[in-house]
Structure 1
Amino acid sequence: MKHHALTPEGFQRWRRSFEIGFWIVLYVCNASFNSLDARVDHPLTSAWEPWCWEWSSALMMLALIPALVWLGGRWPIRLDNWRRTLPLHLAATVPFSLVHVGGMIALRQFAYAIAGSQYDFGAWWVHFGYEYLKDVRSYFGILAIIALYRLWLLRWQGEARLLAEPDEGLPVEPVDRPERFLVRKLGKEFLIAAREIEWLQASGNYVNLHVRGRDYPLRATMAGIEERLDPARFVRVHRSYLVNLDYLAEIEPLDTGDARLTMRDGASAPCSRRYRTQLRERFGDAPVGA
């Protein structure tokens, strides 16, 4: 059997499964080990109770992971912005802990009721203070894992940036409408032509540039990068998507009034009703790709 090295392009196909599986495996292992420890520390309890305590907490943590992934992408903590973003995250730890503890208690009460018993959390404010301190550590620990993973992913798959204006002399190309983007990947830098970008997709604080099957994140807003691209070639089709008309193959109308765009490589992108009208005006009634 021929061995195929893992590539960023191949990883993208099962990236979501990997990310979901990582958190599930992490919390399954953590809950299992903690249940065994709790069983040793509480030998007089029923055998199932420590498992109930730990798994109720783990299940609520898993349910909160998507929210933390979004928060970590929306307000990343960096050296240049931590004074602004850190207070936001500290404030977010309060509802995070309330949801975690409240859901955890509800799951335990449900499990105890099935077993014909009753769960007593104890004095709410005393025990919640203890749980809150643990949740703050968990909150920032999860954010740290997410940030390290994103950093590794950017270094592996490559990250794009605009060419900087030189300190001396004239720029090699217009800074307000660049013809090329500088891509850094695994310590190496190379240029990609703007006309080779097939489409762009907003993702948090980044805009992903899709070029020949690869995505290169560019730290920018969709509105900001749209102003820098050639309007004769790049068209906004959705609040999160820009497409290069040179690579657009088909426009498929949908019953909702929106449309589905098919690119030359077979990939698809959404087109909202608002932008669909503008796109049809660009092409008239002639089918794209005809």
Structure 2
Amino acid sequence: MTERAPPTYERYLPWRRWVEIGFWVAMIGANCIGNSMTTLIDMRRQGSGVEAWEPAVWEVSSALVWLLVLIPAIAWYTRRFPLHWENWRRRIPEYLLASIVVCIIHVVGMVALRVLAYRSQGMTYEFGPWPRELVYEYLKDIRSFATIVVLVEGYRFLLRRWQGEASLLAEPDEGPPLEPVDRPERFLVRKLGREFLVAANDIEWLQAAGNYVNLRVRGHDYPLRSTIAGIETRLDPRRFTRIHRSYIVSLDQVASIEPLDTGDARVHMKDGSALPCSRRYRQDLRQRTGAEAA
């Protein structure tokens, strides 16, 4: 296999975290400024005696809770419990419940910040009747929650396609398969509209990542829609072995095994990676590889 990840993707990785943070700061910040200005204008038209800083406090308090708490939590939740076409009927009730939790955290957090801001000015903040205001805020927050979920999942989908997403070869519509489907010898990788094959023997190690398993091939990761247990049963046990609840390694790629005081171990791979090995797998791995302790 000679295909490599696009240089642009490799150059993007060091900047990925900053781009992601910058996107949400810019998006929430622009919304915060716009809402503050329009709210102040509307209230002035109505003859309200609200101070000019009050709408800014209302919007900034909401924005801070979204940026510092809720967006990271939603990103974690969608990674831990991803929403796909195959599971959306089962996931929708869970996501609706999550949206209620998001709303409660949002309201409690922003009200607390507003109370502190008003106290600093010698004033008292009145949120209003909680049942009515919670319903009002939820009608807004569920739209924000859905928008964030769509943006996060859409971004991950684009990253997988840019990086290269792996899949198992399916049985042909007619005739027998060219190779065993239950124990694949190759994986199909789709990347930016192109397709190529990755030999199973080229996989150095595999790592669980939510509903995906990353296949490490010559320094690049290709996500495969599977659980780590599911793909373990389809790999050749003579070549691959489990070393951790989240890792499977190619026996040919193990360089050494470093025992740790805890009883676990650290597996050093030929590509320079160091992977965790649980104590339950440590002795079996040493016997199968004959690797010397590092």
TM-score, length-scaled by structure 1: 0.89
1:244 aligns with 2:250: yes
Moved more, 150-159 or 137-146: 150-159
- 2:259 aligns with 253
In structure 1, what residue type is equivalent to 2:144?
A: S
Partner of residue 264, structure 1: 270
Indicate conservation of the 8 Å contact 2:254/2:289, yes or no.
Answer: no
1:79-136 Cα offsets, whole Å, 9 max, x none, are 4433222222112211111111111111111222222222110111111111000010
- Kindly state the Cα deviation for residue 285 of structure 1 after the two structures are TM-superposed: 6.8
Matching of residues 137-216 of structure 1 within 5 Å: 137-216=143-222
Q: CA deviation at 1:196?
A: 0.7
The equivalent position to 1:58 in structure 2, one of 35, 55, 63, is 63
Question: Secondary structure in 2 aligned to 1:228?
Answer: coil
| Secondary structure of 2:233 counterpart | helix
Say whether the 8 Å CA contact 2:267–2:274 is kept in structure 1.
Answer: yes
Structure 1 residue 121 corresponds to structure 2 residue 127: yes
Q: Distance in 1 between matches of 2:114 and 2:188?
A: 53
How many residue pairs end up in the alignment? 284
Which residue identity lines up with residue 176 of structure 2 in the other structure? Answer: L
Partner of 1:100: 106
Q: Of the candidates 235, 240, 248, which is equivalent to residue 234 of structure 1? A: 240
| Aligned residues: CA RMSD | 2.1
- Which consecutive unaligned segments of at least 5 residues does structure 1 have? none
Give aligned-pair identity as a percent. Answer: 58
Distance 2:256 2:32 in 1: 49
Match of 2:3 in 1: none
Residue 34 of structure 1 aligns with which residue? 35
Change (3 A) 1:105 1:193: same
1:141: how far off?
0.5
How far apart, in 2, do the equivalents of 1:277 and 1:114 lie?
A: 62
Local SS of the residue matching 1:257 = coil
- When structure 1 is superposed on structure 2, of 90-99 and 243-252 the one drifting more is 243-252
Q: Is residue 284 of structure 2 the alignment partner of residue 278 of structure 1?
A: yes
Change over 3 Å in CA distance of 1:244–1:11 after alignment to 2 = farther
1:49 corresponds to 2:50: no
User: Which of 86, 95, 98 is 2:92 aligned to?
Assistant: 86
Residues 9 and 213 in structure 1, CA contact (< 8 A), matched pair in contact too: no
Q: CA deviation at 1:179?
A: 0.8
> Conserved in 1, the CA contact under 8 Å of 2:207 and 2:247?
yes
78 and 157 in structure 1: CA distance in 2 versus 1, 3 angstrom threshold: same
Residue number in structure 1 paired with 2:224: 218
Which SS does the other structure have where 1:7 is aligned? helix
**Stretch deviating more after TM superposition (107-116 or 254-263):** 254-263
Amino acid at match of 1:57: S
CA separation in 2, counterparts of 1:284 and 1:213? 24
Rounded to whole Å, the distance in 2 between the matches of 1:261 and 1:160 is 25
Which structure 2 residue ranges, 5 or more long, are not aligned? 1-5
Of 120, 137, 142, 1:136 maps to: 142
On the 8 A contact 1:206/1:219 being kept in 2, the answer is yes
Aligned match of 1:25:
26
Contact kept? 2:256, 2:291, Cα under 8 Å = no
Q: Higher relative contact order by CA 8 Å / sep ≥ 6: 1 or 2?
A: 2
The amino acid that maps onto 1:55 is: V
Residue 14 of structure 2 is matched in structure 1 by 13
| Distance in 1 (alpha carbons) for counterparts of 2:138 and 2:206 | 40
Determine the C-alpha separation between the residues in 1 that align with 2:27 and 2:260. Answer: 41
Q: Deviations over 1:51-80 (max 9, x none)?
A: 211111111112111221233234443444
Q: Distance in 1 between matches of 2:281 and 2:27?
A: 42
- Report if the CA contact (8 A) 1:178-1:194 is conserved: yes
